[in-house]
């Protein structure tokens, strides 16, 4: 595994830890945002394993679907998790009048844990 992939996976794990801390402290919206980033960095790491790199979130998400879901390498639910997590991140970071609930934050944290674990298995 390349050092770039290892760095991205470490960022993913640190983002997940930060998300868990933020949720415990009552910051559900910011927790959802950090959980999304943990999945985003993980998706970037997987794409990097194919020497693919993109400059936008939407490009990473689209390429993840094309390269790993459509080819059957990873379950399609992970693409859905990534898409839905980005939507929740946008609410958490930019939403006015909308709030992420504790339950939503808990759910996205579970997605992130599962996402990281599955990608690490693929990269082994």
pTM surpassing 0.75? yes
The Cα–Cα gap between 91 and 71 comes to: 31
The pLDDT-based confidence of 98 (bands split at 50, 70, 90) is confident
Look at residue 97 in the predicted model and tell me its pLDDT. 75
Of the given ranges (68-72, 84-88, 95-99, 106-110), which has the lowest mean pLDDT? 95-99
Q: At what angle do helices 76-94 and 28-48 cross, to 10 degrees?
A: 140
Q: Could you identify the residue written with the tokens 């794990």?
A: 13
Residue 42, number of CB atoms within 10 A of its CB: 29
Mean pLDDT of 111-119: 98
Question: C-alpha angle 103/94/110, rounded to 5°?
Answer: 30
- Residue 92: the pLDDT is 84
* CATH number for the domain running over 3-123: 1.20.120.330
């Amino acid at each position: 595994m390349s050092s770039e992939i290892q760095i991205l996976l470490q960022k993913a794990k640190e983002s997940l830890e930060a998300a868990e801390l933020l949720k415990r402290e009552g910051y559900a919206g910011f927790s959802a945002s950090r959980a999304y980033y943990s999945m985003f960095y993980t998706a970037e790491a997987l794409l990097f394993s194919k020497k693919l790199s993109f400059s936008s979130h939407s490009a990473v998400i689209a390429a993840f679907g094309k390269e790993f879901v459509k080819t059957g390498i990873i379950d399609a639910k992970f693409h859905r998790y990534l898409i839905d997590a980005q939507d929740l991140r946008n609410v958490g970071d930019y939403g006015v009048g909308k709030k992420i609930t504790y339950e939503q934050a808990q759910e996205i944290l579970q997605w992130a844990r599962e996402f990281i674990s599955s990608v690490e298995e693929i990269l082994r």
